[in-house]
């Protein structure tokens, strides 16, 4: 059983080999001739196809397209009413988190839920991007470019330098990611009580070196999680995972890309002050 270090992709039935394509399907035999079912016996169900890299790329492109479309709609509609921007940002963030948890804990991946996440997260991305763009002209275009460049360079390094993900590497990235998430959650809860730990700077005003370092650390962790995603998908394809798992791979990549974009957006805003 292939297990992932990415909590989005870590399901007990995820990426298990698909049914054998030959010898046990109606109409096929190990020797190439056609089998006819015996009288009174219904033909067996055709086996599910296997996951391929093209499947993952296609599903990821669809998911990202939905996210970008809803982000653009939110940018040009909701953002026209300033009073609605903050509520839309908070609500989409909370609902998006709930959908992530639902998709993550479902035994089988649901394409509808994956696309629903993309649509909701698109609203969140549209709102937070508009907030930053209002104060830093051109920062969204810079963040988008930097995000895709970082992802492309990471994929290129993974393939051309033949990066191998070892158990120790996985463990370090997992622990660091969990610790980072806990620290960010604690900072958010304390900020509601008026306590500022300085881990995250505001949209404007002075920013500390600590906040810059935290944003940089978040971007690095997101990139390392992309490496884990690439490795897991590659192993899934090699093991003959069911075709439906392409949606889970696309979902995991989308979640990581959103995280990377947000960290880069924050980091750029800090550097421009």
| Separation of alpha carbons 254 and 128, rounded Å | 17
Residue 56: which of 106, 116, 14 has the closest Cα?
A: 14
Phi, psi torsion values for 14, nearest 5 degrees: -75, 135
| Separation of alpha carbons 147 and 265, rounded Å | 9
What is the model's pLDDT at position 8?
Answer: 52
What is the model's pLDDT at position 36?
Answer: 46
What is the model's pLDDT at position 51?
Answer: 86
C-beta separation of 15 from 238 below 8 A: no
Residue 251: which of 9, 49, 16 has the closest Cα?
A: 9
In tens digits, the chain (273 residues) has pLDDT values of 444 445 555 544 444 444 433 334 333 333 333 444 455 554 444 456 888 888 999 999 999 999 999 999 999 998 888 889 889 988 998 898 889 889 888 888 889 999 999 999 999 999 999 999 999 999 999 999 999 999 999 999 998 888 888 889 999 998 999 899 889 888 878 877 888 787 887 676 678 888 889 999 999 999 999 999 998 898 888 888 888 889 989 999 999 999 999 999 999 999 887
What is the model's pLDDT at position 12?
Answer: 45
What is the model's pLDDT at position 48?
Answer: 60
Confidence (pTM): 0.79
Question: Domains of the chain: which residue ranges?
Answer: 53-271
What is the model's pLDDT at position 10?
Answer: 52
């Amino acid at each position: 059983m292939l297990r992932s270090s990415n909590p989005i992709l870590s399901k007990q039935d995820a990426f298990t080999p698909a049914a054998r394509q030959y010898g046990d399907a109606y109409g096929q035999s190990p020797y190439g001739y056609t089998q006819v079912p015996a009288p009174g016996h219904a033909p067996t169900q055709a086996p599910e196809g296997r996951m391929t890299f093209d499947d993952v790329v296609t599903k990821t492109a669809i998911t990202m397209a939905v996210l970008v479309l809803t982000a653009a709609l939110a940018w040009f509609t909701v953002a026209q009413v300033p009073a609605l921007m903050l509520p839309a940002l908070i609500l989409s963030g909370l609902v998006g988190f709930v959908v992530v948890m639902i998709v993550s804990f479902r035994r089988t991946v649901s394409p509808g839920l994956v696309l629903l996440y993309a649509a909701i997260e698109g609203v969140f991305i549209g709102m937070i991007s508009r907030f930053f763009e209002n104060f830093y002209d051109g920062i969204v275009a810079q963040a988008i470019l930097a995000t895709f460049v970082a992802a492309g360079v990471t994929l290129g390094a993974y393939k051309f330098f033949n990066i191998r993900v070892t158990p120790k590497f996985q463990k370090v990235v997992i622990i660091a990611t969990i610790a980072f998430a806990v620290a960010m959650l604690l900072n958010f809860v304390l900020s509601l009580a008026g306590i500022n730990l300085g881990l995250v700077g505001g949209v404007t005003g002075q920013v500390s070196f600590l906040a810059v370092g935290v944003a940089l650390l978040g971007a690095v962790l997101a990139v390392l999680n992309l490496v884990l995603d690439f490795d897991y998908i590659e192993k899934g394809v090699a093991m003959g995972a069911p075709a439906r798992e392409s949606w889970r791979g696309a979902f995991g990549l989308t979640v990581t890309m959103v995280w990377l974009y947000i960290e880069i957006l924050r980091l750029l805003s800090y550097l421009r002050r």
